[in-house]
Amino acid sequence: MGKKKELEARIDRLKAKVRALKGKLGESAPAKAPATPSKAKNPISPLAPAAFPALPVIEGVAFAAAAAGVRYAGRTDVMLARIAPGASLAGVFTTSATRAACVLDCQAKLADTVDESAGAAILVNSGNANAFTGAAGQASVDAVTTAVADALGLPANRVFSSSTGVIGEPLPHERIVAAVPGLVDALDAEGMEAAARAIMTTDTFPKGASAEVETEGGVIHLAGIAKGSGMIAPNMATMLVYIFTDAKISAKLLQKMLSRQVDDTFNAITVDSDTSTSDALILAATGKSPAAEITDLRSKVAKDFEAALRGVMMDLAHQVVRDGEGATKFVEVRVSGAETVADAHKVAMAVANSPLVKTAIAGEDANWGRVVAAVGKSGAKADRDTLRISFGEMVLAEKGARVPDYSEEAASAYMKGQELVIGVDLGLGAAAKSVFTCDLTHRYIDINADYRS
Amino acid sequence: MGKKKELEARIDRLKAKVRALKGKLGESAPAKAPATPSKAKNPISPLAPAAFPALPVIEGVAFAAAAAGVRYAGRTDVMLARIAPGASLAGVFTTSATRAACVLDCQAKLADTVDESAGAAILVNSGNANAFTGAAGQASVDAVTTAVADALGLPANRVFSSSTGVIGEPLPHERIVAAVPGLVDALDAEGMEAAARAIMTTDTFPKGASAEVETEGGVIHLAGIAKGSGMIAPNMATMLVYIFTDAKISAKLLQKMLSRQVDDTFNAITVDSDTSTSDALILAATGKSPAAEITDLRSKVAKDFEAALRGVMMDLAHQVVRDGEGATKFVEVRVSGAETVADAHKVAMAVANSPLVKTAIAGEDANWGRVVAAVGKSGAKADRDTLRISFGEMVLAEKGARVPDYSEEAASAYMKGQELVIGVDLGLGAAAKSVFTCDLTHRYIDINADYRS
């Protein structure tokens, strides 16, 4: 029963494999090593959005991008954002014990008591992470942020920097410093897309998202950009996110909203389980909207604003996964029925990070047994006999065994989709958590086996 | 300085990549899907030992293998080991929350108060893991172990079983039961290599190891077999190990030694971080050696025996890594200077499981920055400024930065070796831990993207 269809499906899968191998062979055999890595050789992710979105201008913020030659040739690799006086800032950063000098610097500056009447600026370079570079690393941060502060007339403790690229190589900060005057001259309220392009490393598309909040006093706008693919971009200098809004809100409230929304958005994505030394997310609110100041987290406008912020964060987080190195499938691992959210998170991450689950997805193999095994190894409380595994709306296994009407054809057909939902219900409680990931393909190994060439 | 050599090295690496891709294309493009997976298409690991070792006969143990047709055609897939009356048994098993029915059965039987005057038996099948098979799974275990008990005149609670293969499919236990009489007839003290072959799944070579302990009363022999590649074999039904000795020793002492040696051996290997539902290690001591009974853990003979046991366990554990799916490099991650062994273990596992470290090793790229990042994400106490990273004897980075005389050529040359040691000294304390792993290559994805076809 269904045996012929199963065989045909298998032949289809094998044919697809052969096509993929042939395609890869064609694209990975350069006659000689190129002198400079070219981004053009990195095909755009099949999961990319159709186009970069139209982002609203955020009053009080201007952007510029330039080609400073940090590492890449023939493309922009630094971006500057100037934020008007009176803005509130908030940030979240990698928890890595070996985090980069610029991350430590941002954290120290955000913890400072600041003169809110001053403006602020953010300077980001791609091509070099300035991580594990010792005292020279901090000196580079100082050189870059001081140059920007001087050029814009800002206190140095209001200039934030990020670096993304190779770890352990000294940052040629003099090239960035040399680019600062040009960046300042080019500042443009409509320069956000150019900024998004300048911070890319192996990203295959620039990432942006926006939202609007209607209030009685007027509209609040939000717009953000991101680079990287969670923990998967080469050199580990991975996720950088900058979100801007014209809302009027204190730094304290802004930080509170940001911190509590990061768990379900950026902390809920994984490409390859490798955490960066450089992850940084900075949120700036200029207060230029005519809307009234947000002062009470329980007010309708605060809730609407926080929902819009969450939406922008989730959108950018998903785009990071959609640009996961080598990704061909976007996967939500939706865990429910856990005793605690921590347990739900453990299970979701164990499934999303399992190389065996991720290679099965790449092969369009409905191998739900590997999901069971990942649940088992997660360390969370789980009971084989209350566990339910589903793909999309289709329940595959429950009460400790495969469902009686299990259909290999139906499960295999589901796996051919580009957007997949793997459901795990632990049957123990009411806590839930979704995590977003992609598959593990040959291209991931192509990109990472020799990234420094 | 060295620029030309760097470029040449890069060209070498690219050429190797092209060769690898061409090779893969040749072997992965079957004209049509084969009706039955054939092990012959799985080339022997380049890290395999030259030959299966000559194992000593362990008096009191006999083996048989047969082709029961559980899943594979044209190869043996069940093995039986009969252990003489009076033997002591010990075991360690997966801690997975979704462990297989046979694992739960083994654990219950080993916890039982047993009649030591009875003998024992172990029945293992490959091709089906009998995991997540509900009540039918336990019924299958009962059917198989009862058939063996009846045929050998043993109590059923002295017959242990393991199953390795696909998760979630009912075990066709009647095929195994039908093979039992033939297995019993074929029992042979010299049948250990045949047993090692019968328990293979995607293993590319059978795994065996032995040791001898000289004592005043006579020689004690140990011999063991293993299957799988830690957590990497497809279907997650991974590591099975059976070790036999003619030592005279109580089950209690035997279990104590086994439990404390497992941390540095089998619990110190990882191929892909995926923990099995089926891992099992059973150790049987027949007491047939003329050597005196081991009764005091502090005696010289006990220490010698435990060291020999550790040696056999370590040898088999390393063979499992050497047969890691797609492995081309054998890697020791040697962590020292940690505050606690738990921290050293966390760091070693974070490095050994990092897909970015493993793909860099596959690409022979001396990307020590990824090691730094893996240390940072491990969750263990680490300080950037006391960290030292070395490859073999070569220190690459210390005191928070690259060493002044860092040589990319020397580091790249080291990566071309087949046996690598990545050293991480945390500079914080005296605790150390080594973990053993392999690289992550295209072949891993080939094997796992469509394992059920």
State the smallest CA–CA distance between residue B412 and chain A in angstroms.
11
Say if residue B453 carries a ligand binding annotation: yes
Nearest residue to B220 (alpha-carbon basis) of B293, B160, B132: B293
Percent of the residues in chain A that have a pLDDT greater than 90, as a whole number: 42
Determine the Cα angle at A17 with ends A13 and A19, to 5°: 115
Which residues of chain B make contact with A7, given a CB cutoff of 8 A?
Answer: 33
For residue A233, what pLDDT band results from cuts at 50, 70 and 90? very low
Amino acid at B223: A
Using a CB-CB distance cutoff of 8 angstroms, which residues of chain A are in contact with residue B272? 355-356
Residue at which a domain ends, from A322, A355, A381: A322
Mean pLDDT rounded to a whole number for chain B: 83
Q: Which residues of A are catalytic?
A: 238
Domain with residue A176: its CATH number is 3.60.70.12
Chain A residues whose CB is inside 8 A of the B440 CB are 355, 445
Element (H, E) at B382: none
A271 falls in which pLDDT band (50, 70, 90)? low
Catalytic residue among B145, B164, B238, B441: B238
The answer as to whether A422 is a domain residue is yes
In 3D, which of A36, A70, A59 has the Cα closest to residue A161?
A70
Residues A261 and A147 in one domain: yes
Residue finishing a domain among B322, B338, B362:
B322
CATH number for the domain including B351?
3.10.20.340
Q: Which of A32, A96, A377 sits opposite B376 (nearest CB)?
A: A96
Which chain A residue has the Cα nearest residue B359? Answer: A449
Q: Do A400 and B370 touch (CB under 8 A)?
A: no
| Inside any domain, residue B429 | yes
pLDDT greater at residue B246 or residue A97: B246
Q: Would you say residue A56 lies in a domain?
A: no
> Residue A45: what pLDDT?
85
B5-9, B12-16, B419-423: range with highest mean pLDDT = B419-423
* Assigned domain for B93 exists: yes
Both B240 and B352 in one domain: the answer is: no
CA nearest to B381 within chain A = A97
The answer as to whether A42 is a domain residue is no
Domain count, chain A: 2
End-to-end CA distance of chain A: 52
Judge whether residue A411 has pLDDT over 70.
yes
CB contact under 8 A, A453 and B96: no
Share of chain A above pLDDT 70, in %: 85
CA distance A78 to chain B (A): 22
Residue B387 and residue A272: Cβ atoms within 8 Å?
Answer: no
- Consult the annotation and say whether B325 binds a ligand: yes
Angstrom distance (rounded) from CA A146 to CA B274: 47
Determine the residue of chain B that is closest to A384 in CA distance: B98
- Residue A249 CA to residue B380 CA, distance in Å, equals 37
Do B195 and B73 sit in the same domain of this protein?
yes
Question: Measured between alpha carbons, how far is A302 from A297 in angstroms, rounded to an integer?
Answer: 5
Asked if residue A281 has pLDDT above 90, the reply is: no
All residues of chain A having their beta carbon less than 8 Å from the beta carbon of residue B378 are: 97
Please indicate, yes or no, whether residues A413 and A336 belong to a single structural domain of this protein.
yes
A55-74 confidence digits (pLDDT tens)? 999 999 999 999 999 988 88
Query: Minimal Cα–Cα distance from A135 to chain B, Å?
Result: 8
Q: Is residue A45 assigned to a domain?
A: no
Q: B197 and B82, same structural domain?
A: yes
Residue B120's pLDDT is: 92
B201 annotated as a binding-site residue: yes
Q: Among B267, B289, B322, which residue terminates a domain?
A: B322
Q: Decide if B426 contacts B385 (C-beta within 8 A).
A: no
- The answer to whether residues B90 and B176 belong to one domain is yes
Q: Please give the helix or strand (H or E) that residue A416 lies within, else none.
A: none
**What residues of B are in contact with residue A274 (Cβ under 8 Å)?**
354-356, 370, 373-374, 377
Contacts of A402 in chain B (CB under 8 A): 132-133, 168-170
Is residue A325 annotated as involved in ligand binding? yes
Nearest to B132 among A274, A365, A372 (CB): A372
- Say which range, A65-74, B16-25, B218-227, has the weakest mean pLDDT: B16-25
Whether B34 is in a domain gets the answer no
Distances (CA, A) of B296 to B14, B99, B213, B214, B313: 58, 34, 16, 17, 21
Pair B292, B346 in one domain: no
- Put simply, the answer to whether B369 touches A13 (Cβ < 8 Å) is no
CB contact under 8 A, B400 and A451: no
Range of the domain at B97: 61-322
Min Cα distance A74 → chain B (Å) is: 20
B280 and B342 in one domain?
A: no
Select the more confidently predicted residue: A279 or B24: A279
B194 & B336 share domain: no
- CA-nearest of A355, A349, A330, A224 to A275 is A349
What does DSSP say about strands A394-398 and B159-166: parallel, antiparallel, or unpaired?
unpaired
A249 and A205 co-located in one domain: yes
Q: What is the pLDDT of residue A238?
A: 52
Same domain, A364 and A267: no
Query: B97: Cβ–Cβ under 8 A, 6 or more apart, which residues?
Result: A375, A376, A377, A378, A380, A381, A382, A383, A384
Question: Within this chain, do residues A279 and A313 fall inside the same structural domain, yes or no?
Answer: yes
Residue A418 lies inside a defined structural domain of this protein? yes
C-beta of residue A120 within 8 angstroms of C-beta of residue A160 = yes
pLDDT in tens, B25-51: 443 333 333 333 333 456 888 888 888
